[in-house]
Amino acid sequence: MSRWTRQLTERVRTIPIYRYTALVVAAALVFGLVVLIRAVLHDDRSCAAGVARPEDSAECVGVSTSAFDFGQRRLTATIKAVDRENRTLKAGTYVTVALYEPFSARDTDNLNDVLHELQGAYLAQYRANHDDNGETPYIRLVLANPGANGAYWERAVDKLSAMTTTSDRLRAVTGIGTSTDNNKKAVAKLTRLGIPVVGSSITADDLANGQRNKDPYPGLARVSPTNTDEARALASFARVTADRALLVYDKPGDPYTKTLQQAFSTLLKGSPYGSWPFTPPADRSQEGSTPNTFRQITDLVCDTDVKLDTVFFAGRHTQLRQFINALGRRGCQSRKFTVLTGDEGSYLTADKKLDPSALQHGVSVRYTALAHPDAWIDNAPATGGSAQDSQDLDKLLAAARTAPVGPLGTVSLDDGQAIISYDAMTLAVHGIREATPDQQKIPPLSDVGLQWPQVKGSLRVSGASGWICLDVHGNPYDKAVPIVELTPRGTARFVKIAWPEDRPPGKECLPPA
């Protein structure tokens, strides 16, 4: 065969190989382009481990088990501290407790609340793992976010439920910071699934067991008094007669404002003055048109008999601030008024829109706080709480300024949220460890919530907010209620501890049958 013939034959043989190679390369390029296009166009909804964005929202909701901070820089330091503590725990030695809060909240008031509850829960976790004489199981803390207004509560609850049967060993949920309809739904489903819940700052009577002797939330315990108990404590302190007071209330209301209205209405039975409603936006953190309503109401307040000097206010903090501002500009400046309200008053210290001049023109604002750092310093009663329990938290807080406990950034106890969250987590740990059988490391899920009726007497939890002695329904009995006054500087001044039973509990701290 000639050289020319051999070359021609070789070319003929190699043509299919080149074509095949070209086809393969072309196919690879097309496939790569498709993958690239999909990567660019595909809407990846994941945010972090356990957390994703729903199709109709940009919020990251679910249960975070990492150092993910939900895009909230003010939460970053504390969440990193939680993650550091979690990473020190060895598999098989711990159970999980979830802090359920709106971590993606955007308004300043709610976000401050979330930060302080997070800090309090973490400090209780750290103490449980390091300062409890080696008691076990150890506590891992995860963060459950139902969204800014709780709209995705079901997603969060479903993830929490799944964690009860995995190596996470979820044994309790704490937090549930505010009394809202979505939080009521979340607590109802959690407890229906057999997951114990320890409410921190929820106060609504209809988000509690024991109403009409029924328990719609089996396994729910709370460390804060109900609105009814807060109102009773406030009445015990203020000694206001019905002929000197009237009620301004949120209509149609939410679980917190409705039950506060009912409690105040009972106190004002027989008042010659009608109760005056206002209608806020559905999202009560928004301003709405209620300032106009409050201007009208304050005009009517000036029309009343001069002996009227007290206004009970059943509303959320945004509307409370608006009402105080309006009352400060009232026409009858010569008359003095005291506004009495529930624990939403604690938000006012961080509210930049509050007009401080209102508090310099004959308006006093007093509210029932869930806790206050000065409550047990001077002239503390012999029972119901102690300075030592409050000081234990102070020492831990001082240690948290630096490693290994912190740093946590700025921590404020003035609004009581960090204190009450610390106590709620402490109660959750108490229930978990009391439910752990001898010679075993992990308690059965079903046994944790059964511990709440035994939290009394010598088995009480000595909280930084006061003694936590639970009745058979999981509600605190005769819990200390700090009465706090808002100063013209916008700070919270502790006035006195009040009691739902008009006196501190006995040293036995045993709720009546």
pLDDT tens-place string over residues 192-221: 999 999 999 999 999 999 988 899 999 999
Q: Are residues 96 and 9 located together in one domain of the fold?
A: no
- Same domain? 206 vs 68: yes
3-state DSSP call for residue 220?
strand
Instruction: Measure the CA–CA gap between 227 and 257, rounded to whole angstroms.
Output: 9
In the prediction, which pLDDT does 426 show? 98
Residues 320, 403, single domain; the answer is no
Same-domain status, 184 and 115: yes
21 part of a folded domain: yes
- Give 144's strand partners: 63, 100
**8-state DSSP, 419:** H
* Euclidean distance between CA atoms 434 and 436, whole angstroms: 6
Residue 511: the pLDDT is: 93
Domain-located, residue 492: no
pTM: predicted TM-score of the whole model, two decimal places: 0.88
pLDDT, tens digit, 9 for 90 and up, residues 129-182: 998 788 999 999 999 999 999 999 999 999 999 999 999 999 999 999 888 999
Tabulate helix, strand, coil % of the chain (nearest 5).
40, 15, 40
Confidence band, pLDDT 50/70/90 cuts, at residue 75: very high
Inside any domain, residue 508: no
Domain count for the chain? 3
Domain assignment of residue 281, yes or no: yes
Residues 361 and 390 occupy one common structural domain: no
Q: Is the pLDDT of residue 34 over 50?
A: no
Please say whether the dihedral angle defined by the alpha carbons of residues 372, 373, 374 and 377, taken in this order, is positive or negative: positive
Residue 31 — pLDDT band, cuts 50, 70, 90? low
The reply to whether 349 and 329 lie within a common domain is yes
| Type of residue at 119 | Q
**Residue 375: inside a domain:** no
Residue matched to tokens 């002239």: 379
Residues 162 and 145 in one domain: yes
> Which strand (E) or helix (H) includes residue 366?
strand 363-368
- 140, 233: one domain: no
Same domain, residue pair 363 and 401:
no
In this structure, the answer to whether residues 325 and 360 fall within a common structural domain is: yes
The answer to whether the peptide bond before residue 291 is cis (omega within 30 degrees of 0) is no
DSSP string covering 254-280, please?
A: -HHHHHHHHHHHHHTTT-SSPPEEE--
Are 405 and 399 contacting, i.e. CB atoms less than 8 angstroms apart?
yes
Taking the C-alpha atoms of residue 441 and residue 95, their distance in angstroms, rounded to an integer, is 9
The number of beta carbons lying within 10 Å of the beta carbon of residue 22 is 10
> pLDDT by residue (tens digit) across 432-483?
999 999 878 899 999 999 999 999 999 999 999 999 999 999 999 999 999 9
Q: Of 368, 394, 421, which residue constitutes the final position of a domain?
A: 368
Domain boundary (309, 337, 368) is at: 368
Which of 304, 337, 368 is the last residue before a domain boundary? 368
Q: 500 in a domain, yes or no?
A: no
* Distance separating alpha carbons of residues 24 and 30, to the nearest angstrom: 10
Please report the pLDDT score of residue 1 as a whole number. 53
- pLDDT in the model for residue 422: 98
Average pLDDT, integer, range 228-249: 91
CA 313 – CA 260 distance, rounded (Å): 9
In DSSP terms, 249 is beta-bridged to: 277, 314
Both tokens assigned to 164: 């009860």
Q: What is the pLDDT of residue 16?
A: 53
pLDDT over 60 (residue 39): no
Side chain identity, residue 106: R
Residues 254 and 333 in one domain: yes
Q: Are residues 107 and 198 in the same domain?
A: yes
Q: What is the pLDDT of residue 19?
A: 52
Could you please report the per-residue DSSP string of 131-192? SSTT-SSEEEEEEEE--TTSTTHHHHHHHHHHTTSSTT-EEEEEE--S--HHHHHHHHHHHH
Within a domain: 504: no
CATH number at residue 84: 3.40.50.2300
The set of residues, in sequence order, having a beta carbon less than 8 Å from that of 49 and lying 6+ positions away, is 64, 65, 66, 68
Residue 274 belongs to what domain range? Answer: 228-368
Asked if residue 484 is part of any domain, the answer here is no
Give the Cα-Cα-Cα angle 262, 317, 394 (nearest 5 degrees): 105
